[in-house]
């Protein structure tokens, strides 16, 4: 089997075994955020930050959910990194945004953060801030052992069926899942152009 055949075989397999019920629960949680006039903050680093930016557009435009990603403002992001440190960048951003119990945090991450491995500590600090304010915590992840999965109210784990491809499959499925959510009849308010 070639790499391309193997990759798309895995894409197909994940589509069959991903937890549909958890995706439905996340749709309901996001609808509840909109109904209580809360905001959605999408956090991600690396490729997940790019996905967060795209998802902000979709949740705002299609679902009428007030949505933001701190990584969309590179000036503020780098100023906070310089002044507060990378580990605090999302937490301090959420504090300035006055995150509260009406809001939700949606984390896009492969591992979900780990203090022990010193990976994505900025996500961990942000989630601690969100928990202190009783915000809903959601995650679309590639592993179930990280910090996000431990503290999330709802986390969707992309089944890690090939450890050598966990990052590309996880980040690809972030897009598949958020597009499922923004087109969900319980969430979508405005139609797409095509």
**45 torsion bin: left (phi>0), alpha (psi -120 to 50), beta (else):** beta
189 inside domain: no
Per-residue pLDDT, 21? 98
120 inside domain: yes
192 inside domain: no
Q: Global pTM? A: 0.97
- Alpha carbon 6 to chain centroid, angstroms: 26
Per-residue pLDDT, 36? 98
In angstroms, rounded to a whole number, what is the distance separating the alpha carbons of residues 31 and 38?
A: 10
Per-residue pLDDT, 126? 98
- Ranges in the chain, pLDDT < 50: none
Domain with 106, as residue range(s), is 3-182
pLDDT tens-digit series, residues 5-26? 999 999 999 999 999 999 999 9
Residue 141: phi and psi, rounded to 5, are: -130, 165
Q: Alpha carbon of 161 to those of 7, 66, 73, 104, 166: distances in Å?
A: 11, 34, 35, 29, 8
188 inside domain: no
98 inside domain: yes
Contact 54, 22 (CB under 8 A): no
77 inside domain: yes
Per-residue pLDDT, 49? 97
Per-residue pLDDT, 16? 97
62 inside domain: yes
156 inside domain: yes
Per-residue pLDDT, 55? 98
Question: Where do we find the tokens 């509260």?
Answer: 100
Give the CATH number for residue 111.
3.40.50.10490
* Domains contained in the chain, number: 1
């Amino acid at each position: 089997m070639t790499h391309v055949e193997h990759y798309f075989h895995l894409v197909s397999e994940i589509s069959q075994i991903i937890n549909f019920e958890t995706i439905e629960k996340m749709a309901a949680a996001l609808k509840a955020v909109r109904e209580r006039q809360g905001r959605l903050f999408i956090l991600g680093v690396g490729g997940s930050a790019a996905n967060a930016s795209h998802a902000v557009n979709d949740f705002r435009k299609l679902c009428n959910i007030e949505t933001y990603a701190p990584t969309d403002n590179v000036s503020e992001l780098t100023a906070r990194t310089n002044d507060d440190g990378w580990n605090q960048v999302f937490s301090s951003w959420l504090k300035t945004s006055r995150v509260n119990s009406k809001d939700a945090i949606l984390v896009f991450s492969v591992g979900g953060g780990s203090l022990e491995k010193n990976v994505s500590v900025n996500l961990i600090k942000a989630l601690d801030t969100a928990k202190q304010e009783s915000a809903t915590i959601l995650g679309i992840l590639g592993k179930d052992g990280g910090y996000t999965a431990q503290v999330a109210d709802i986390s969707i784990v992309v089944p890690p069926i090939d450890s050598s491809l966990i990052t590309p499959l996880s980040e690809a499925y972030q897009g598949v899942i958020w597009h499922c959510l923004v087109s969900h009849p319980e969430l979508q308010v405005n139609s797409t152009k095509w």
